[in-house]
Structure 1
Amino acid sequence: DALELSKHPLPVPDDIFATLNGGRIFTKLDLSDAYLQAELDDESKKLCTINTHRGLYQYQRLPFGVKSAPGIFQSIMDKMLSELPFTAAYLDDNTIANGNMSEHKHHLYQVFNRIRNYGFHLRLDKCLFCKPSIKYLGFVIDQNGRRPNPAKISAIVNMPEPNDVAKLRSFLGMVNYYQSFVDNMRFIRQPLDDFLKKDAKWQLTERQKQSFHQLKSILQSDLLLTHSDRSSALSWQLMHPSMELEQLFSIACRMDPSRLLLTHLEPLHLLNRTTARLEMDPRRKRYQERPCHGGFGDPS
C-alpha cells in the first residue's frame, strides 16, 4: 500500500494483432528475467526493502510481485519501441511481423539496437526468429490470420462440468477470451449466464449442460479471424438470432471492392452483447449489409 499504482495501461490484444496485419514472417523476442532488468532509483529501493533472518535487504531492480511493476515495465517497453510501427510488446514479449525476409531482417536490427541501447538482454531459448507462425497471447498467428492456441483450448475442453458458481465463472472467463471467434456467443452461453444473476439458485439442468458442452465443441472447430486488409472494402452485418437475448455485429471483408459484390466474406471480428430493453422493439429489427466506413458500434 506504500506504492503508487502505475496508471500506464497494458496494451489491448486487438491493438497488438492489428500491428501484425499483413505479416508473413514473424519473430518473437523474450526478455530474460523481465522486470529484474529494470534498475530502481534510490528512493524506490528504500520502498523495496525486505526483512530476513539475516537482516534487511534492498532490491536493486524491479522485483516480481510489486503491484505497480506491470505498468512500470510496460511503459519502459512502449518508450523503447516507440515509432517502430512493425513491432509491439506485451510486457516482456515482443513481436515483429513483416511481409518479406529482407524487410524483416532490417526491422529486427532496429529492434536489437533499441534493446541494446536500453541495456536489456534476451533469453534466446524462448525467442523465435523468422517463423511463418507464432503462438502469442493465447493465439496462433500466421499470414492467414489468428486462431485459438490448441493448448489453451485443450485446457478449456478438459474442464469438468462446474458444480458451483466459482468454477462456472472460471470456465466462462476462459471461454470469453475467444468470444470474437464465435457466432452468437451470448445466445449460446445465456443459460449459464443465468447462474451469475443475483439470488440465482444453482441447479445444473440439461439446458445448462447443453450450453456448456456446445461451447466446448465450438472452440474445438476450425476457428479463424483473418487479418484486416486496407485494400479490401469492408461490410458489417447486423443479426438478431433472438430479439430478447442477442445482438451480433459481424465485420467481414468485401473481396470484390471494384464491383462492391460480397463474393467472399472472411470474418475479422465478431462482437456479442445482450440487448437493452429499448433495443428489443421489433421496429428496430434490421437484417442488412452496409459499407463500413469507419469504426463500428451500434448502427442505429
Structure 2
Amino acid sequence: MDDQPETLNASLDENAVSDFFSQGFAMGVSTPEMEMKLREILEYHRKIFLGDENAAPAPARGVVCDLDVGNVWPVAQRARQIATHLLVKVYELLKKLLETGLIEHSESEWASPIVIGLKKNGVDIKMCIDYRVVNKFIKLSRYPLPLIDDLLIGFESAMWFMSVDMASGFWAVLMTERAKLISGFICPFGHFQWIRMPFGLKNAPLIYQAVINNCLWGFVRLPPEEEALVDRDVLEFLELDQPEPDRTCRNIPARSPMGPVLGRSSYIDDIAHGAPTWDQLCDDLNALLFRLRYWNISVRLPKGEFDKLAIPYLSHEISAEGIRATPKMAKSVQGLPFPSMLKGVQSFLGSLNYYNKFIEDLPAFEILKRKIVSTPLLRHPDRTKQFIIIPHANPSAACAVLGQMHDGVIQPVRFTDRILNEFELRIHIAEKELMAILRVLELFRPLIDGSESPVIIYTRYSVLKWLLNWNSIERRCLKWGLELSRWSLEI
C-alpha cells in the first residue's frame, strides 16, 4: 500500500518561480548576480514547474503504464469501512481526483480496497490503495533500479550542488486500457479506476525509472507524433530536426548531441548533481530542464535545492568534503528504544544495513546507535589518489576500511565488515584479514577500478605476503591469491 497525495491542483503553476524566490528561497554561498542568473534559468523554463506539492502534473511523453496479469481471473474485493468523521474528506479527495482527470468511474471486474489514515498533523488524510492481492498476479518488469551506493559516488570534483524532485512523478504516466481495469479500486462512494499511474502498483517505480533514464541519458527520441508537440526552442537546443508528421515509429535512436545530460542516473524521481564551478552548475541545470521539457516531465519546485554547498539526497548529506548520514536520520535513530519485538529488531537492522558503510564495527545496540548518530565524514573516492586498505580481524569478524590520503592523513572512504561463519572462526587471524581485504575489493570494485596507482594495504601481519606467495599453502589461500592477482597491490 502506498499513499496518494491528499490535495490536488489541476494545472502547472506559472507563478511557481516567483513564489519560490519570494518565500525566502535559501541560496547557498552566492551573490545577487548569481541569484539573478539562476532565476533567469528557472523563469525561462517555468512551464514545467509546479508550486503546489500535490499538484497534478501534465502527462509525460513517450511512456505509458501497461500491466500484464496473464490469464488470471479478476479479483474483486469488498470495500472496507471508513470512519464516519473521515467520509467527507474522502469524498472531497475523490471529487478532486475526478475533476483533474486522474481517475474515472469504473466497470472493471478488478476491485482493490482503500485504507484511510490520518497524517502526522492529525487533520489531513492519506489514502492508500491495498494492491497486495493484485500485485501477486502482475508480471514483474525486469527493468533495473540503480543501487543507492552507485548514486553516491562521482562527486569528488564537485563544489556546487543541486537536487531536483519530480512532481507527483507516477501521476505523469498515462495508463493503457487494460492497466486502467487492473487498477480499479472500491470504497463506500463507488468503484473507480486510474487514468494516470498510481502509487502502490507493482512495476510503477520501474516504469518511471525507465522514462527518467531515457531523459537523462538520451537513448531514444520521441515518436514523431509526440515530438511534434515539443516547443521549438527545445528542439533547437537539442539539435533535433522538426519531425515528419506522417511518420509513425517508435524507439528512434537519438542523435549524438542528445547524449547524457548530467552523466549520472536518478533514483526514480530524485536527481542529484554536482559541478566544480557555479557557471557549470547553471549550464547543467539549464540542459537538464530542456531535456525535462522535451519529455514533458514536471518538476516540484519547492522541493528543489540549487547552488548549495551541501544537499540532502537519499537520506545522506552530500558536500564537497564527502557524504554522511543526514542529521534528521541520525536524530531519529538516536531516539530508538531497545527493540522488544521481532519487527522492531528487523527495522533496526534495516537501518544498520542502509548505513553500514559508515560503521567500523558492529558490537551492541547502544554502541550501534552512537555509531550512526556520530557517523564520520566519508570522503568522495578520487581515482587520481592511491586507495588504502586497512584490514582488521578479531575472533568473530573481519573488518576493513577503504581510505585515501588527504593532507597527510588517511581519511575513510568506506567501511565494511562481516561476521565469520563456524569454519572461518577457526582459521588464522592473518587469513581473516585477507578475507577482509577481499571483501573490500569485491564490494567497492566500482570505486577502485580505474585507479591510476596500486592499492596500498597496511597490515599487522607480514605473514600475509607469505600466504599470497608460498606455493604449497592451503587451497583456500591459493584461491584467494588468484582473486587478488588481478589487482596491483602494495603490502
Same fold per superposition (TM over 0.5): yes
* Conserved 8 A contact 1:88-1:96: no
Contact kept? 1:87, 1:97, Cα under 8 Å: no
What is the one-letter code of the residue matched to 2:372? L
> Cα deviations across residues 65-84 of structure 1 (Å, max 9, x unaligned)?
11221111112211211123
State the partner residue of 1:44.
Answer: 179
Q: Following the alignment from structure 1 to structure 2, what is the Cα–Cα distance between the partners of residues 178 and 52?
A: 40
Within the candidate set 367, 389, 405, 1:236 is matched to 389
Which residue of the partner structure matches residue 337 of structure 2?
160
Instruction: Identify the residue that residue 200 of structure 1 maps to in structure 2.
Output: none
Q: Deviations over 1:245-269 (max 9, x none)?
A: 111121111458xxxxxx4211111
Partner SS state of residue 266, structure 2: strand
Q: Is the 8 A contact 2:333 2:373 kept in 1?
A: no
- 1:124/1:284 Cα in 2 relative to 1: closer, same or farther (>3 Å)? same
Alignment partner of 1:161: what SS?
A: coil
**TM (normalized to structure 2)?**
0.50
Q: 2-side partners of 1:70 and 1:286: how far apart?
A: 40
Q: Deviations over 1:134-173 (max 9, x none)?
A: 0111111100001111111111111112222321221222
The SS at the match of 1:266 is: strand
Residue from 43, 63, 80 that aligns with 2:215: 80
1:61-80, aligned counterparts within 5 Å? Answer: 61-80=196-215
RMSD (Å) for aligned C-alpha atoms: 2.7
Which structure: larger Rg?
A: 2
Distance 1:132 1:278, change over 3 A: same
Aligned pair 1:266/2:417, yes or no?
A: no
- Determine what percentage of the aligned residue pairs are the same residue: 24
1:64 partner letter: F
SS at match of 2:403: strand
- Correspondence for 1:251: 402
Indicate how the Cα distance of structure 1 residues 168 and 66 shifts in structure 2: closer, same or farther if over 3 A, else same: same
Which has the higher mean CA deviation after the structures are superposed, 278-287 or 130-139?
278-287
Aligned 1:161-180 pairs, distance under 5 A: 161-180=338-357
1:221 to 361, 374, 379: 374
TM-score with structure 1 setting the length: 0.80
Hey, what's the Cα distance between the residues in 2 that align with 1:155 and 1:165?
A: 19
Q: Is the 8 A contact 1:50 1:57 kept in 2?
A: yes
1:282-293 alignment, distance < 5 Å: 282=428, 284-286=431-433
Q: Any unmatched runs of 5+ in structure 1?
A: 189-210, 257-262
Q: Which runs of 4+ in 1 moved over 4 A?
A: 51-56, 285-290
Alpha-carbon distance in 1 for matches of 2:292, 2:344: 42
| Matched residues, number | 266
Pairwise mapping of residues 197-212 of structure 1 onto structure 2 (< 5 A)? 211-212=364-365
Corresponding residue for residue 122 of structure 1: 299
Shift of residue 176 of structure 1? 2.5
Q: For residue 276 of structure 1, what is the amino acid of its counterpart?
A: N
The corresponding residue for 1:27 is 162
Correspondence for 1:193: none
Indicate conservation of the 8 Å contact 1:146/1:224, yes or no.
yes
